[in-house]
Amino acid sequence: MFLSSLTPSLAIFCKVIDNYGDIGICWRLARQLCHEHAAGVTLWVDDLISFKRICPEIDPAAAQQRIQGVTVRHWQDQEGQFHAHDIPDVVIEFFGCELPPDYQRAMAARTPRPVWLNYEGLTAEDWVEGCHRLPSMHPRLRLTKHFYFPGFNARTGGLLHEAGLEARRHAFQHEPAAVMAFLARFGVTAAEAVGRKVSLFCYPGAPVTALFGTWCSGATPTLCLVPEGVAPEQVAAFLGAAPVAGASATHGRLTVRVLPFLPQDDYDLLLWACDVNVVRGEDSWVRAQWAGRPFVWHIYPQDDNLHHKKLRAFLAVYAQQAPALAAYMLGWNGAQPLHDHAAAWNALESVLPDIAAQADAWRQSVLAKGDLVTQLLDFVRDLRLAQENSV
């Protein structure tokens, strides 16, 4: 039996730099590997408190726990003694987080040595196509790490998309009673649910007050659902009260409701239940692409406005046929002035049905070569095969 034909065991290392996106992505990756490929997965996470916000089953005090089939280990520091037999077939570090030195030594001592991947951040920029799957030799140990870049085309590593997701989304969106039952959990009334529903998840600095003003005086009744902690100052100003879960207020044609921060699977339902989603970072951005509804993306801000380059690269592949969407997203991210917020929103609003109609074609084109986990396991198989042939 060749190793390359067996489902590998894996370890994923995640350092939560800021917010939830990093653990959000690693948690999806771990669950999909475990549930769809029967892989033994250990997820090492440094920040269990952030993890608990998206996965309430997590016990932040536990050094090791098993959640939904995945072994979760608290990655407390760079110390610790490891042995070759502690190392699985594949080690994935998320976003170049540095593995404990003794863990690396144990990786080099293992026979055969593990496949080592650096799972990188998502961008539509061209340069990733030249870097996806590139090897990098360890400066001292007999180890090679390979870069794995998620992406939107066949020259990159794909996007996370679990089996059955599309069927679940379709069933939910075609069952008005299920949508209403979900929204009612947060106090949404049937009358509120008839109008346009928008979810709002953004970084500080987004022109939320101007958007609220546009919706207040717009023609369409709008219900904006905001998870607790998002745009707290602007939401508090609108409510005239603390922006805590359960709070709501209506001014003009806009109702704003604060939701609790949702478990990750419920957040998908929120995206599916809304007509438009404002999302941010990486993971909610990808999930909005699978929701089949138009979205506005707030990209994670970087020094020297590097993020504007990334935003433009995405808009060039995603919004070529929708200039009003591109213009609104550039304005929302401060990449170009949004002099007249209402005019920019109204222009976008008039093409929302066309944008929604493109969602299926976009999903199919991104998934043409398969989902990320399938492609990642193919790459692992290739590397293990090459290793076997070189022995």
Catalytic residues: 22, 282
Spatial neighbors of 337 by CB under 8 A, at least 6 apart, are 331
47 binds ligand TRH (CB under 6 A): no
281 binds ligand TRH (CB under 6 A): yes
- Gap between the Cα atoms of 157 and 317, Å rounded: 16
Tokens 């996370």 label which residue? 160
182 binds ligand TRH (CB under 6 A): no
- Cβ closer to ligand TRH: 57 or 378? 57
**Could you tell me the smallest distance in angstroms from the CB atom of residue 259 to ligand TRH?**
7
Q: Which of 54, 128, 211, 235 binds ligand TRH (CB under 6 A)?
A: 54
One character per residue 336-355, x = contact with ligand TRH (rule: CB under 6 A) = --------------------
Q: Which of 10, 12, 14, 22 binds ligand TRH (CB under 6 A)?
A: 22
Spatial neighbors of 185 by CB under 8 A, at least 6 apart, are none
282 binds ligand TRH (CB under 6 A): yes
Of 4-12, 21-29, 100-108, 248-256, which part binds ligand TRH (CB under 6 A)? 21-29
- Tokens, residue 347: 């222009």
**Could you tell me the smallest distance in angstroms from the CB atom of residue 97 to ligand TRH?**
12
Count the residues of the shown chain that bind ligand TRH, applying the rule CB under 6 A: 22
Of 57-65, 123-131, 283-291, 308-316, which part binds ligand TRH (CB under 6 A)? 283-291
Q: Which of 145, 280, 293, 384 binds ligand TRH (CB under 6 A)?
A: 280
Of 139-147, 261-269, 348-356, 367-375, which part binds ligand TRH (CB under 6 A)? 261-269
- Gap between the Cα atoms of 145 and 65, Å rounded: 28
In three-state form (DSSP H/G/I as H, E/B as E, the rest C), the secondary structure along 190-226 is HHHHHCEEEEECCCCCCCHHHHHHHHHCCCCCEEEEE
C-alpha distance from residue 118 to each of 29, 161, 168, 264, 314 (Å): 13, 19, 31, 24, 22
DSSP element (H, E) containing 319: none
DSSP element (H, E) containing 301: none
Q: Which of 46, 120, 283, 349 binds ligand TRH (CB under 6 A)?
A: 283
- Tokens, residue 218: 């717009």
267 binds ligand TRH (CB under 6 A): yes
**Residue 262 DSSP one-character state:** P
284 binds ligand TRH (CB under 6 A): yes
**Could you tell me the smallest distance in angstroms from the CB atom of residue 27 to ligand TRH?**
7
User: What's phi and psi for 295, nearest 5 deg?
Assistant: -140, 155
C-alpha distance from residue 156 to each of 147, 169, 327, 352, 371 (Å): 11, 26, 27, 29, 11
119 binds ligand TRH (CB under 6 A): no
- Gap between the Cα atoms of 327 and 324, Å rounded: 5
Tell me if residue 298 falls in helix, strand or coil: strand
Residues 197-256 that bind ligand TRH (CB under 6 A): 201, 227
Q: Which of 262, 315, 330, 344 binds ligand TRH (CB under 6 A)?
A: 262
- Residues in contact with ligand TRH by the rule CB under 6 A: 17-22, 24, 54, 121, 201, 227, 261-262, 264, 267, 280-285, 300
